[in-house]
Amino acid sequence: MSPAIPADYEPLRPVEQLDVRSADGIRLHVEVHGQPGAPTVVLAHGWTCSTRFWAPVIRRLVDRYRVVAYDQRGHGRSEIPPSAVRYSTRALAEDLSAVLTRTVPAGERALLAGHSMGGMTIMAAGGRPEVAERTAAAVLVSTGPSDLIAELRVLPGVVRSPGLRRFLHRQVLRSRLPLGPVGPASRSVLKYATMGAGSPDGPVEAAARIVHSCPTGVRAAWAGVLGELDVRPGLARLTAPTAVVVGTDDRLTPPVHAHRMVAALADPQGLLLLPGVGHMAPMERPAEVAAEIHRMAAAHLRAAEPAAAGAVAAEPAAAEPAAAGGAVPTVSVPTVPRPTPPAATERSVSA
């Protein structure tokens, strides 16, 4: 029997659904959640995922924000590109631009949060005037700007040759083998590669169902793009205040990327390290990721008042119920504006 998916991980019913056309005509599925007229948070998911990936984070934001989430091209309910040339970092940037233009009114700005390929999307769009004018701040989660294959930590340490490791990693990521149904073996593989060892069965099952639903061709096409990705020029042109989040056990985009991004950002707003967390930080630790989004929104968006009981607290994030194996660590996250420090601060939750 498959593990039960926690209620927090079930997708919410959006208050609005939109079809947005990108610059090349590809149709993008967009969902709007939360409070009309509230400050806007835009969420971009990663490779092989969909808007469902953000469900536990959206639940923690909807009482205070208008939350926009969209399916990257080829994923979820967005259109699958008809040819390989439609998969590129430029396409990612143009898709984000189209979504922002449609969902963020002229003269207003949003907080952008991107996980994995979603973070790369935000970096790829760095320097685009139409994106910059609608961006108040950004949060980059479990992502990297370049050298993704070289820094992967998926293969065991017994494979020591750097050249062989890069070759094998590339072959695994570009595989066109179907993932098949979710089962014990596939859950174990996904957990090892993308989540921390202490992740409970429910979130692992939720993540596996999302990843397995990505079409094989789409998965392989984007893997090819990610294998050659270099969005460092866009990162250097990303002028909005930006925070970075990474799990210490992230095998796909390990912390070395986070440190490089913080060093390259024009206005770094801190690095949040999540001990024991893998690549799927928004699913593994949704409370901490939502709290970091809220911290940045509170500092850089117009004031947002809770619309109902149960809104995200303006005080430090409270502990979630204990997961199997022990209590969930928490982090105290300040939410009041503060002067930008001379250098980015690094914070870590207690283990």
pLDDT interval class at 106 (50, 70, 90): confident
Q: Into how many domains does the chain fold?
A: 1
Decide if pLDDT at 331 tops 50: no
CA 100 centroid distance within chain:
17
CA–CA separation, 277 and 227 (whole Å)? 23
Residue 1 lies in a domain: no
Q: What pLDDT shows up at residue 153?
A: 85
Please check whether residue 198 is in contact with residue 166, taking contact to mean a CB–CB distance below 8 angstroms: no
pLDDT at residue 344 is higher than 70: no
144 part of a folded domain = yes
Predicted pLDDT of residue 14: 98
Annotate 203-250 with DSSP letters as a single string: HHHHHHHHHHTS-HHHHHHHHHHHHT-B-HHHHHT--S-EEEEEETT-
Distance in angstroms (rounded) separating the CA atoms of residues 145 and 124:
9
| Residue 227 CA, distance from chain mean position | 18
CA distance 30 to 13: 12
Measured between alpha carbons, how far is residue 265 from residues 233, 252, 260 in Å? Answer: 11, 21, 9
* 222-272 pLDDT, tens digit each: 999 999 999 999 999 999 999 999 999 999 999 999 999 999 999 999 999
Residues with Cβ < 8 Å from 343, sequence gap 6 or more? 268
- Spatial distance between the Cα atoms of 289 and 114, rounded to a whole number of angstroms: 11
Averaged pLDDT score across all residues of the chain:
86
Task: Band the pLDDT of 63: cuts 50, 70, 90.
Answer: very high
Asked if the structure places residue 2 within a domain, the reply is no
Q: At what angle do helices 216-227 and 117-124 cross, to 10 degrees?
A: 50
CA distance from start to end of the chain: 32
Q: What are phi and psi of 4, to 5 degrees?
A: -75, 140
- Non-local (6+) Cβ contacts of 68 within 8 A are 30, 31, 32, 33, 40, 41, 42, 43, 99, 103, 104, 110
* Residues 22 and 78: beta-carbon distance below 8 Å: no
- Domain residues for the domain of 112 are 7-348
**Kindly report the CA angle at 127 between 47 and 256, in degrees rounded to 5?**
50
Q: At residue 305, does pLDDT exceed 90?
A: no
Q: Which of these, 277, 198, 202, lies nearest to 3 by C-alpha position?
A: 202
Give the model confidence (pLDDT) of 90-100 as tens digits: 999 999 999 99
Which residue is it, tokens 């921390």?
Answer: 196
- What integer is the mean pLDDT of 103-117? 96
| Cα angle 94-97-102, degrees, rounded to a multiple of 5 | 130
pLDDT value of position 181 = 74
Q: What is the CATH number of the domain that holds 102?
A: 3.40.50.1820
